[in-house]
Amino acid sequence: MSEETIPDYRYVFQKDLLRGKVAFITGGGTGIGFTITEILMRHGCDTIIASRRLDVVRSAAEKLSKATGQRCLPLQMDVRKPEAITKAVDEALGQFKQIDILVNNAAGNFLCPAENLSFNAFRTVMEIDAHGTFNVSKAVFEKYMKNNGGVIINITATLSFRGRVLQTHAGSAKAAIEAMTKHLAVEWGPNGIRMMCVAPGPIADTEGMRRLGGEHIDDAMVKAIPVQRLGKREDIGNTVLFITSRAGELLTGTTVIADGGAWLTSENNFWKIKNSPMFKQMSKM
């Protein structure tokens, strides 16, 4: 899917809120990561977006810079490979001299019952989500934030709060990230670093929504959400923006749940799902 910038973005904060700041966003070329990047840039922030596919981040960087007037550096990087991360962080610092904000957004997910989940599938999700978050955080800490401070925001989910059906792999990875965030908030706080998680719920117009059964969401499911609507990518971008701003200076070591209350009311009946056509169509992972 080709990404497009927001045509009619409405500013909640001052446009120069992040003037002079630089952000490094993993998975910033598509989906929620793309919109997070755009909103940070619309508020004066220069960015680095990193992904395994250089063609994707190159195209995204061009669109983002054109729409916002800010610089966006596309880099090829696999969050599972520390050497590649170190090289990317060095290149980013060579260009911008600073990394004030890190958004760990790269992730992998799919629907699968635990009994059909292969050892390799579980390991891969853990490596991308949990290991990847630590790898990039550690590299940015050592190369810049240890001596200069900053904000690290990890994009998680609400999957582990109740034990979400068909999500053992992703829920376990996100739970690990949230525990890691608490530990690092304690250890890195004296270095002037704030560690936070943002947990989106169902967000419309994303690849994640399509992969996780978005086509099965009907009006009744939407009405069950307390705020009566699905989330938008823009909602998550604005949440990240708030955390990075001076208004969020006391936020660290915790999770902002940005889902309109969906996790409180969404159906989580494994027996019902197991007997649905969707479940029967699933192939073994």
Dump the DSSP string for 65-85. HHHHSS-EEEEE--TT-HHHH
pLDDT digits (tens, 9 = 90+) for 96-137: 999 999 999 999 999 999 999 999 999 999 999 999 999 999
Q: Does residue 14 sit within a domain?
A: no
pLDDT value at residue 285: 42
Q: Does residue 133 sit within a domain?
A: yes
Q: Does residue 8 sit within a domain?
A: no
The reported pTM is: 0.93
Q: Does residue 9 sit within a domain?
A: no
Q: Residues 6 or more apart from 281 whose CB is under 8 A from it?
A: none
Q: Does residue 6 sit within a domain?
A: no
Per the structure, the complete domain to which residue 47 belongs is given by 22-281
Count of domains forming the chain: 1
pLDDT band with cut points at 50, 70 and 90 for residue 153: very high
CA 193/CA 230 separation, integer angstroms: 32
CATH number at residue 220: 3.40.50.720
pLDDT value at residue 283: 43
Return the bridge partners of 24, or none: 48, 102
CA 3/CA 1 separation, integer angstroms: 6
Residue reference for tokens 């494994």: 270
Q: Does residue 83 sit within a domain?
A: yes
pLDDT digits (tens, 9 = 90+) for 33-89: 999 999 999 999 999 999 999 999 999 999 999 999 999 999 999 999 999 999 999
Q: What percent of the chain has pLDDT over 90?
A: 86
Q: Does residue 179 sit within a domain?
A: yes
Instruction: State yes or no: pLDDT of 284 exceeds 50.
Output: no
Q: Does residue 2 sit within a domain?
A: no
Average pLDDT, the chain: 93
Q: Could you give phi then psi for residue 276, rounded to 5 degrees?
A: -95, 160
